[in-house]
């Protein structure tokens, strides 16, 4: 149960995009609420009944708010929906966390504190894998990280794909409103790269990630072919942007070297 004494933060919001995560989402949300107030869930057109179940949870808990999207739009679109509302309500930062039980709720306070200490930064989770991590996914990640580091001239992105992150709201909104991509699985890597280009420094913190078997309630919507194609197209776009940002990136690199 969330602690009665936990006062709501007016600057830092925990935002969970959720699409058909099954019963795992209830556990994830309860664990998040035990660590933070407020928590918002954007239910992205889920058809598994969790929208109604989460609304019942929220009816008993003023620290929990549920936003229902009428149809599935993708992870990035669900985050953007939450960001727009968060900005309207005066939040300056959001910690994004997946709904499927893979992310470490116990680290929420640490990530929030890191962001409060350095509000201009984005706080990026760097995955600490255990034996449950599929080797193919761990290897695939190295490729995406290599591209993200090239695209930012090694400005310090520790991991391009991990969705457990604190973002400053306004810079991310500006990045996302400016283009039609970043609405699905291309959200996490593109957000890190484009925020770097805008001068938002990455702050990397290790965070364990779990890969749950279906028997433990694990759900994934990652489609190997479809999503790798999407990520390849994203890196192609980012490489074009990289060429345009190269002078500024080089200047920043020289400045950092002189400091
Ligand atoms: N896939 C997917 N996820 C969405 C969507 N909308 C919101 N999400 C949420 O985005 C998060 C990441 O989705 P996952 O399918 O677990 O992707 P992943 O964690 O990168 O991949 P796995 O490591 O295989 O689980 C989860 O919290 C989803 O519930 C959507 O349209 N598609
Ligand atoms: Mg997942």
Asked if 84 and 2 touch (Cβ cutoff 8 Å), the reply is no
pLDDT of residue 165: 98
Protein residue with its CA nearest to atom 11 in ligand 1: 98
Token code pair at residue 107:
């680290």
pLDDT of residue 113: 98
Q: What is the 3-state secondary structure (H, E, C) of 182-216?
A: CCCCCHHHHHHHHHHHCCCCEEEEEEEECCCCHHH
What does pTM read for this prediction? 0.94
- Give the residues of the chain that fall short of pLDDT 50: 1, 4
Protein residue with its CA nearest to atom 10 in ligand 1: 75
CA–CA dist 7, 4 (Å, integer): 8
- Check pocket membership of 96 for ligand 1, CB cut-off 6 A: no
Domains, the chain, in order of start with CATH, read 12-258 (3.90.550.10)
> What is the distance in A from the centroid of ligand 2 to the CA of 41?
15
CA–CA dist 19, 10 (Å, integer): 26
Query: Which residues fall within 8 angstroms of residue 47, CB to CB, at 6 or more apart?
Result: 20
């Amino acid at each position: 149960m969330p602690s009665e004494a936990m006062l709501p933060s007016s600057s830092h919001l925990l935002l969970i995009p959720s699409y058909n995560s099954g019963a795992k989402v209830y556990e994830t949300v309860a664990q998040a609420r035990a660590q933070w107030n407020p928590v918002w869930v954007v239910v992205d057109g889920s058809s598994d009944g969790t929208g109604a179940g989460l609304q019942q949870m929220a009816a008993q808990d003023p620290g929990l708010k549920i936003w229902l999207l009428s149809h599935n739009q993708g992870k990035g679109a669900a985050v953007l929906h939450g960001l727009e509302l968060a900005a309207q309500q005066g939040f300056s930062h959001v910690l994004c966390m997946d709904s499927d039980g893979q992310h470490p709720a116990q680290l929420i306070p640490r990530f929030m504190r890191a962001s409060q200490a350095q509000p201009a930064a984005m706080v990026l989770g760097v995955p600490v894998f255990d034996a449950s991590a599929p080797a193919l996914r761990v290897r695939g990640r190295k490729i995406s990280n290599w591209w993200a580091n090239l695209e930012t001239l090694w400005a310090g992105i520790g991991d391009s794909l991990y969705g457990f992150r604190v973002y400053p709201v306004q810079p991310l909104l500006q990045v996302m409103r400016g283009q039609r991509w970043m609405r699905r699985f291309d959200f996490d890597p593109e957000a890190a790269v484009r925020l770097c280009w805008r001068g938002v420094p990455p702050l990397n913190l290790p965070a364990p990630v779990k890969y749950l078997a279906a028997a433990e309630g694990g759900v994934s919507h990652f489609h190997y072919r479809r999503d790798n194609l999407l990520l390849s197209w994203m890196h192609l776009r980012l490489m074009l942007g990289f060429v345009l940002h190269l002078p500024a990136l080089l200047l920043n690199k020289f400045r950092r070297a002189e400091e």
